[in-house]
Structure 1
Amino acid sequence: MLHYAFLKQLLVLTPFWLLKGLTKGLNITSTNQPMVEKAQGEKVTLPCTFTVAQEDQGPLDIEWVLIPTDNQKKEQTIIMYSVDRIYNNYYEAMNGRVQFTNPDPRSGDGSIDILNLKSADTGTYQCRVKKAPGVESQKIQLTVLVKPTMTKCYIEGSQETGRDLTLKCVSQEGSLLLSYNWRKITGTEELPATSLLNKDTGELSLKNVSEEYSGTYSCVAANRIGTDDCFVVLNVTPPINTAGTIAGAVIGTLLGLFLLAFLVFCCCKKRKEKKYEKEVHHEIREDVPPPKSRTSTARSYIGSNRSSLGSMSPSNMEGYAKTPYNQVPSEDFERSPGQNPNFPPSKVAAPNLSRMGAVPVMIPAQSKDGSIV
């Protein structure tokens, strides 16, 4: 009795996939496909059909697990059928993308479908079927391939005659074992004789290029499930006159600076002229008449003195004898209408009268006895 209880407990604690081979009633009949390859975005069916024997009387359990490549990680259950119920929410990365091919796995079909494949779905999958006392399992290696996409072509190097350059081609996405092939699709449609192609890296090297190398080139990236291509235009031109270009740039810069300085100068000059016009407009009034000539005033004064000398008597010439001829006062200028009345009138000095053309007059002096000297 003790021995029987020990065996029963051992069967319960031991994982059912370790019991494979202990019984021969249950049998997986699907063809063993150790490797399956599919393209990204497609659907794959992982087969797992089986048969049971009369001695297999226990409940049917079907479990699919993803075995990690890293032995340190645990297996991940992705879908399970147990006690007439399906559980497909174990693996979050495949929620909504994994299902049993047959809605009723009791019919002997435990195959599953994985929809909208992704590159992360690549791995080893195992189907485990248990119907006590029978236990069987089968492994399948799934590889999700990504076809080349977003392939770009570009030129590296100077496109001048006599130079060396490289046409490069690279795909942003795509499974390994990609191969690249270049071809010319214009002109002679043949690659130059000096070209060197590396199909693994997608580089096409051109040595000592000439204008005949110009044209449109196409690169095709390919792997086992698809292709993708891109184009680039090569235009080989004569060397550029670097010295002339630099000289032209310097001259253009200097001319630009000179023009800028000239414009600044003109603006400053124009601003000063406007400022001066405003100041003059406020200081000079248009309705003020010009001042009278000093020369005419001085001459009129001297003429009046001459005419008065003839009628002078010895008695009334005493005051004139004391005044020298070079100190004759000038006549007051006529005050302009806008002149301040409190401001004293200006005088004209004797030397100025001489320069104006006035004739000095000798005024006779009178002796003590009244006679004229």
Structure 2
Amino acid sequence: MGALPRAALALAALLGVSSAMLEVHVGTGSVFSVEGQQVVLPAWYTSRSQKKPYITWLLDREDADPFQILTYLDGVVKVEETELKPRVGFLYSVLTHNISVLINATRERDSGQYMCTVNVVDDVTSTGKNVGVINLTVLVPPAAPACQLHGDPAVGANVTLSCASEKGKPSPMYQWQRTAPTLQVFFPPTQDQARGTLKLSNLSLDMSGLYVCVAENRAGSAECSIVLEVHSTSAKAVIAGAVLGSLGALAIIIFFARQVVTYRRKKRDSQEEAANEIKEDAVAPKTPSWARNPASDTLSKTSTLSSIAGAREKPYGARPPSDTASILTATGSFRGPPPQGGGRTPNLSPPAVNGTPRRHQEPAPARGPVPPAGLAQVGAVPGMVLPQSRAGSLV
């Protein structure tokens, strides 16, 4: 950089302009540097005076007002900006009219517009001729990017690979590629080089492999990689399905259990209501009148029937049938219809044997239905069938 100002001064001397007015010159209007490297801002001035100049370098950043970083006054160099103090200075001796500035270990914040102003006591200059401007841009290489996988790499699914660097000036561009055994480079629209995304659709098992992302700008490059393993089934889906299935089965069991409990409860309540209705509507059974008769009455009636049966077993004279039913008295005597022959009652007493009169026997009743009055006297109930002998008589 120092050869350019010297050649310019020599050329000015040859052209006879060494006695021209004061003027500042710059080697280039824009300078680029990579962060961490060294940079030179080339500048020189022309003047017919031999006295020492007054030189000032200023920095105008986008986020701040212009401020002084370096000065030369009465042979003394002074760095005004503390951030640049250990890294900035003049490249050559000022007395050589070469006022180029050297900046070591540049940083991104060193970027901006640098202005150089020169004044000499006994020299005349026109407005703006004594100022030189150089724009410095410090480039920042991409930081190591981070590669990420978005989505489940199952067969038939869609996933997205992303790649991003935290810093880089200018903003880096991203390029995805698949490495060996199958080398493949991707282009838009599959990948977005500005955003660093790569979309893979309808995955298959042969799409598994190592994918590398390269972030690159004018200052340099960096890369990251990710291994894509495509599987045939989704473990998450299987687990989720199992969990949902278990919950569904549990819900069904609980539902049916509640239905069974409700059904049994309703059935029990209905049975209890039916039992209560039966108890309320039921009438106590009535004891039959014959069951309430004392035992003595039953024995008396039984004895009467037995005596009647005994009397009937003995022979007796035949009598014509009567239209009127015979009636049994309470004492066992027979009361029949009046005699038909003149109203006299025949003597049915048997003759005496050896001077001893025989027991008087009552004539047997006519065969026929026993009237209800007679049955009531012997303790029978309506509908009751009395025992009979082979001849049809009561037993």
Q: When you count helix as a share of all residues, which structure comes out higher?
A: 1
Report SS of the residue matched to 2:206.
Answer: helix
Return the alpha-carbon distance in structure 2 between the equivalents of residues 98 and 192 of structure 1. 45
Return the alpha-carbon distance in structure 2 between the equivalents of residues 203 and 241 of structure 1. 25
Contact 1:24–1:134 (8 Å) recurs in 2: no
- The TM-score with structure 2 as length reference comes to 0.52
Report SS of the residue matched to 1:94.
Answer: coil
Q: Which residue of 2 aligns with 1:37?
A: 32
Q: CA deviation at 1:152?
A: 1.3
RMSD, aligned CA? 2.7
- Return the match for 2:62 from 60, 69, 92: 69
Return the alpha-carbon distance in structure 2 between the equivalents of residues 44 and 193 of structure 1. 36
Q: Which residue of 2 aligns with 1:6?
A: none
Go from structure 1 to structure 2 and tell me whether the alpha carbon gap of 1:199 and 1:157 turns closer, same or farther (over 3 Å shift): same
Return the alpha-carbon distance in structure 1 between the equivalents of residues 78 and 242 of structure 2. 78
Return the alpha-carbon distance in structure 2 between the equivalents of residues 37 and 124 of structure 1. 12
Return the alpha-carbon distance in structure 2 between the equivalents of residues 34 and 101 of structure 1. 18
| 1:51 matched to 2:51 | no
Go from structure 1 to structure 2 and tell me whether the alpha carbon gap of 1:194 and 1:92 turns closer, same or farther (over 3 Å shift): closer
Contact 1:195–1:206 (8 Å) recurs in 2: no
Q: Which residue of 2 aligns with 1:216?
A: 210
Q: Which residue of 2 aligns with 1:149?
A: 143
- Return the match for 1:112 from 80, 101, 104: 101
Q: Which residue of 2 aligns with 1:176?
A: 170
Return the alpha-carbon distance in structure 1 between the equivalents of residues 188 and 51 of structure 2. 74
- The TM-score with structure 1 as length reference comes to 0.55
- Percentage identity across paired residues of the two chains: 28
Return the alpha-carbon distance in structure 2 between the equivalents of residues 46 and 125 of structure 1. 8
Q: Which residue of 1 aligns with 2:23?
A: 27
- Return the match for 1:237 from 227, 231, 234: 231
- Return the match for 1:97 from 63, 87, 101: 87
| 1:78 matched to 2:74 | no
Contact 1:49–1:111 (8 Å) recurs in 2: yes
Structure 1 unaligned spans of 5+: 1-22, 251-373
Q: Which residue of 2 aligns with 1:9?
A: none
Q: CA deviation at 1:239?
A: 1.5
Q: Which residue of 2 aligns with 1:190?
A: 184
Report SS of the residue matched to 1:212.
Answer: helix
User: How far does the alpha carbon of each residue in 1:303-330 deviate from its partner, in whole angstroms, 9 at most, with x for none?
Assistant: xxxxxxxxxxxxxxxxxxxxxxxxxxxx
Report SS of the residue matched to 1:120.
Answer: helix
Go from structure 1 to structure 2 and tell me whether the alpha carbon gap of 1:40 and 1:155 turns closer, same or farther (over 3 Å shift): same
- Given residue 23 of structure 2, which amino acid in structure 1 is its aligned partner? N
Contact 2:143–2:222 (8 Å) recurs in 1: yes
Report SS of the residue matched to 1:149.
Answer: coil
Q: CA deviation at 1:68?
A: 3.4
Q: Which residue of 2 aligns with 1:121?
A: 110
Go from structure 1 to structure 2 and tell me whether the alpha carbon gap of 1:199 and 1:65 turns closer, same or farther (over 3 Å shift): same
Contact 2:61–2:111 (8 Å) recurs in 1: no
Go from structure 1 to structure 2 and tell me whether the alpha carbon gap of 1:179 and 1:192 turns closer, same or farther (over 3 Å shift): closer
Go from structure 1 to structure 2 and tell me whether the alpha carbon gap of 1:134 and 1:57 turns closer, same or farther (over 3 Å shift): farther
Go from structure 1 to structure 2 and tell me whether the alpha carbon gap of 1:207 and 1:148 turns closer, same or farther (over 3 Å shift): same
Return the alpha-carbon distance in structure 2 between the equivalents of residues 41 and 236 of structure 1. 42
Contact 2:177–2:183 (8 Å) recurs in 1: yes
Report SS of the residue matched to 2:145.
Answer: strand
Structure 2 unaligned spans of 5+: 1-18, 245-395
Runs of 4+ in structure 1 displaced over 4 angstroms? 191-195, 241-244, 246-250
Contact 2:90–2:102 (8 Å) recurs in 1: yes
Return the alpha-carbon distance in structure 2 between the equivalents of residues 61 and 146 of structure 1. 34
Bigger radius of gyration: 2
